A and B are shown apart, each in its own frame.
Chain A
Amino acid sequence: MTIHTYTLGERLKGVVKAWAAVLIVSWIGVPLVISILYAFSERTALYERTPIPLSYSLEQIRFLLFEAGALYAVKNSVIVALLTVALSFLLGLPAGYAFAKYVFPGRDALKLALIGMRMFPVMIIAVPLVALYIRIGLSDTLVGVALAHTAMALPFVVLITSSVFAGVPRDLEEAGMVFGLSPIGVFLRITIPLALPGLAAAAMFTFLLSWNEVFIAAVLTLTNRTLPAFILTSALAAPDFFKFAANFIIVAPALVFVFVARRYLVTMWGITVR
């Protein structure tokens, strides 16, 4: 019996593959990790010309949050993002459910319309709202930003929740009906619990959409800046350590999301970009 040995070609292929893997991971990972290390660097260590800072402190983050006013911006961002999640789910969840579970005339056309609306640029939502918000007193308010963010996030919410609901097998719901649940009972006791993890991931995704959005927020606020708007408007004139620290504060929730919802990542973006 001969044991299969690896030929030279195969070994070479293995080496090339391993290097490709390293290259891909570093291309994404190195800038990310390095930039986070810089955020936690001792301020003096930034000028010592070592590739990676040699001493670390929370000083830069502390300064940015408590002295430069970023904490206020973080608080605003969280409020706007939570309002956006609440509002877009209130409006979008029923629609997502309808798309998943009902057949009705115009369903496909409406779904295509949703995909089309997703491509509506935020610039054209934001610019005309400035004047409107001044007229109705929403200018420079968090609610105003959240309303615009909801308009931006809503198509995503409908598309994602519809696919989450569609993923709940019809059989399980019908079994619920056969064994005596009312339609509302089926929804509350079978559909929702089964859809919950997916819906939670969708909510986090929506939170991030709002958290990351900068154009609308920068245009519609003046004193009540969200975090990206705050950084965008002050970054140009700010010193480097300010930017390094700011980077980490914006990125952190995204990394938490990647970690918590990694199982849903590919499918979720599969839906939003399709």
Chain B
Amino acid sequence: MRLTPKHKAFLLIAPAFIYMGFFIAYPLSEAIYLSFFEEGALSLANIRYLVGSPLSKFTEAFRYTLTITAIVIPIETALALLIALFLYNSFKGRDLILYMVIIPLTISDVAAGLIWYSILTSNGFMNNLLISLGLIDQPIQVFGSEFKVRMLLAIVVTEVWRSMAIVFVILFAGLQLLSRDLIEAAEVFGASWMQKLTKIILPMLKPSLQSALIIRTLFAFQIFGVVWILAGRNIPVLAGEAYYELTELRHEGVAALYALIIAAISLSFGFIYIRTLRARHLEVTL
């Protein structure tokens, strides 16, 4: 029997999808089992532990994760938008700035944490600079359990530094897709810079802004490395608690429950994202 192109295509994609199917279906079902069953019987022990045990920092972790997300995303979106607009027109040195802005994409969360640690720690760059300029006598302490607000700030700065690039790439790509004529037309018909931005560019950039916001929110709930390096469990976050419960306390069920919560949040945002993507797909080309 000869293979039709359709069959060939399915044969080619099958291995990848089977592999991914396994690594999604197995962990998902296993996580549900670990979370809600004990010795084969339905059990709410893990949920009770999560919200009731003095060992658990669930509410705190949830609050911190939400707070970080709520502060980081507006800041980095605004910054990314400004930089994308700045780099829209080509000029000498633009490519260099472009590479610079996207370097953090290649840098891991652990490394980003370490980079900002070297800047902010008591004998790091910031304190050395301020002391040698004579602006302060004693180093400013940023890290340590008594400086929660400062640590939170350090985390915010690091996260903005690290993840702004993702938002930037999406917005920049979206902006490049807008035909120059559409923006020049607004100029010709008398729009000021502000009117151009609010009436033409932003409305047309809406799909990209949407993508960027959804994707970033989704990943913001998975924040781990940056926080763990900079603050450890002083600033608890959902993924950090999953890690701690699993590796330190050996509470597999609790860790699985954390993982499920993160997955539920991520997947609901992912679902919204796919829906907007699909809606855009149907809307022929603009």
Binding site for B on A (CB under 8 A): 17, 20-21, 24-25, 27-29, 31-32, 34-35, 38-39, 46-47, 49-52, 90-92, 94-95, 97-99, 102-105, 107-108, 110, 112, 115-117, 119-132, 148, 150-151, 154-155, 158, 208, 211-215, 218-219, 228, 231-232, 235-236, 240, 243-244, 246-247, 250-251, 254-255, 257-258, 262, 265-266, 269-270, 273-274
Contacts and interface: CB of A to CB of B under 8 A. Distances in A.
Contacts of A211: 108
Contacts of B19: 91, 150-151, 154
A161 to B, nearest CB: 10
B200 interface: no
Contact of B20 (A24, A128, A151, A213): A151
Nearest to B98: A266
Given A35-B118, A119-B267, A123-B259, 4 more contacts: A25-B97, A112-B274, A155-B20, A240-B124
Contacts of B114: 35, 231, 235, 243-244, 246-247, 250
B30 A97 contact: no
Given A35-B118, A123-B242, A28 B13 contact: no
Interface centre among A24, A91, A121 (most CB of B within 10 A): A121
B269 interface: yes
B191 to A, nearest CB: 18
Nearest to A269: B169
A115 B24 contact: no
Given A132-B26, A215-B224, A218-B247, A266 B169 contact: yes
Contacts of A104: 5-6, 9-10
Contacts, number: 278
B2 interface: no
Main secondary structure of the interface of A (DSSP, over half): helix
A240 B143 CA distance: 12
B252 A131 contact: yes
Nearest to A105: B6
Contact of A251 (B93, B107, B260, B281): B107
Given A94-B13, A131-B30, A154-B20, A120 B101 contact: no
B256 A247 contact: no
Interface string B230-260: 0010000001001100110000100110111
Contact of B128 (A50, A99, A103, A262): A50
Contacts of B83: 24
A266 to B, nearest CB: 6
A28 B262 contact: no
Nearest to A208: B106
8 contacts: A21-B93, A104-B9, A127-B31, A214-B225, A232-B228, A258-B103, A258-B106, A266-B173
Contact of A269 (B105, B115, B278): B105
A27 to B, nearest CB: 7
